Structures are given as C-alpha cells and as structure tokens.
Amino acid sequence: MLSGHMVKPFVGGNKNDAADARGIWTAVQQPEIKAVAVKSEEQQALLALHRMREQLVKFRTAQINGLRGLLTEYSEVMPQGRAGIKRDIPGVTDWLGGTLSCEYRTRCCSAPGLRGRFQSRKREHDSAELQPRDSSVSP
C-alpha cells in the first residue's frame, strides 16, 4: 500500500481512474517510495478516539471564542483561555445583568459548564482507550 501524497506527483492530467492507475504503477516502480504499513483494528480504533477528542477540544475552543466575541459586542473584553473565562464570567454577567436578556445571561453562565461535559466525555474516551480488547472474540 502506498501513501496518496507519494503517488500524487506521478499522476498526470485530469483525475480519472486510468490516470490514477498509471500514477500508482509509476510510483510502485520507484525504489525510493516506501510502502505504508497496514494498521490493525486496535490502532484504527485508538486513532479514532484521538480524532474524537481533538474534535471535542476544537468545539470547546470555538464555544469559548464565540462567547468572548459576543461579550466584546457589549464592550466587555474577556481574557483568552478557559481559565480566564471561568474566572471572569460570573462578574461580567452580574455587571451586564440589566443589559442582557435573561436567556443570554443563562447561556453565558452555563458556558463554564462546558468544561464539566468535556471532562466527562474525555474520561469516557480515556477509559475506553485503556480497556484491553478481548482478542478471543472476532468482529
């Protein structure tokens, strides 16, 4: 099996099956092109868990940045990072209490709760990652 980025330089013209096949055939002939190892099911599952955790981190970061942006519209500049938001958000929502709607205030105050949900999901993924798979059971 060859890596796609190693084959791409050998594919000429438009992308179609014939051009791809010619490119793969040409790449296989090159001595410096190394084959890619096939991953086991366990390795694929572990990589999937890491990708899921990465998505959770990106989602959390997006939520925090969105909250900071919305509060900036009310002239309240928040520090970067989770710790700054967690520390400063209660005082900000009290200060802006008369300006913000009840719904908006509730959402802002619950944003630090995202950390708890994130931590519980992370623990679930970490425990699943550490549990050994029963190799006697075939998929």
What is the pLDDT at residue 115? 54
Amino acid letter for position 6: M
Distance CA 131, CA 115 (A): 24
Distance CA 127, CA 138 (A): 22
User: Would you say residue 139 lies in a domain?
Assistant: no
Domain count, the chain: 2
pLDDT at 102 over 70: no
- Residue 18 shares a structural domain with residue 65: no
pTM: 0.52
pLDDT at 62 over 70: yes
pLDDT, averaged across the chain: 75
Lowest mean pLDDT among 7-16, 69-78, 124-133: 124-133
What is the pLDDT at residue 30? 78
pLDDT at 45 over 80: yes
Q: Dig out the tokens for 68 from the structure.
A: 């900071």
Average of per-residue pLDDT across 23-49: 84
- Residue 67 shares a structural domain with residue 33: no
- Residue 79 shares a structural domain with residue 115: yes
- Residue 23 shares a structural domain with residue 81: no
Gyration radius from the chain CA atoms: 25
What is the pLDDT at residue 19? 80
Q: Residue count of the chain, please give it.
A: 139
- Residue 33 shares a structural domain with residue 53: no
Q: Dig out the tokens for 86 from the structure.
A: 């967690």
Which residues have CB under 8 Å from 93's CB, separation 6+? 100, 105, 108, 109
- Residue 26 shares a structural domain with residue 61: no
